[in-house]
Amino acid sequence: MRVDSASRRIAALREEVFRAFTDPGMLASWLPTEGMSGHLEHIDARAGGSFRMVLTYESGEGRGKTDDHSDVTDTRILAVEPPKRIVWAVTFESDDPAFAGTMFMEWTLDSLPHATNVTVEAKDVPPGIDPDDHARGLASSLEQLAELFEGHSTRHVPTGA
């Protein structure tokens, strides 16, 4: 079983950072990795809920999992433990068997003095996802999450749904 992980210290309280996982506008702004944009088709951010996200590559490169320029994910929310933990079961919409199956992503938020350490652990990563690309993608999402709270972002951050 393949496990990929990443961690990042964020200069914000754990409760504030946790909100970025349940607020649709915030989630759609930080989760897409650098070079992608994303929008949620629906979200029910409670345990037992789900969300569907369409991620679009901003460049003209053809490398998407769903089609040449996009990745579509269906995510079931398995656990929500405010403000410390959230678990997702993620499937990619793809005809390529290398992206089949369910990837489990566990996000943990640990309180630090005046900050939060966010760790993501992805288990059962589909073999079609290159480990180096995935490591860069996880780090990019965490960087963008940090930017929401640390004021360095140039991306527009909508709130609410």
User: Average pLDDT, stretch 57-78?
Assistant: 83
Closest CA to 155 of 13, 61, 20, 22: 20
The whole-number pLDDT of residue 67 equals 80
Interatomic CA distance for residues 38 and 69, integer angstroms: 12
The residues spanned by each domain of the chain are 3-150
The whole-number pLDDT of residue 59 equals 78
Q: How confident is the model at residue 62 (pLDDT cuts 50, 70, 90)?
A: low
Q: Which residue has the tokens 């996200």?
A: 53
pLDDT (tens digit, 9 = 90+) per residue, 135-150?
Answer: 999 999 999 999 999 9
Name the fold adopted by 3-150.
Alpha-D-Glucose-1,6-Bisphosphate; Chain A, domain 4 (3.30.530)
Contact between 20 and 26 (Cβ < 8 Å): yes
Mean pLDDT of the chain: 91
Of 140 and 60, more confident: 140
The whole-number pLDDT of residue 99 equals 94
The whole-number pLDDT of residue 60 equals 65
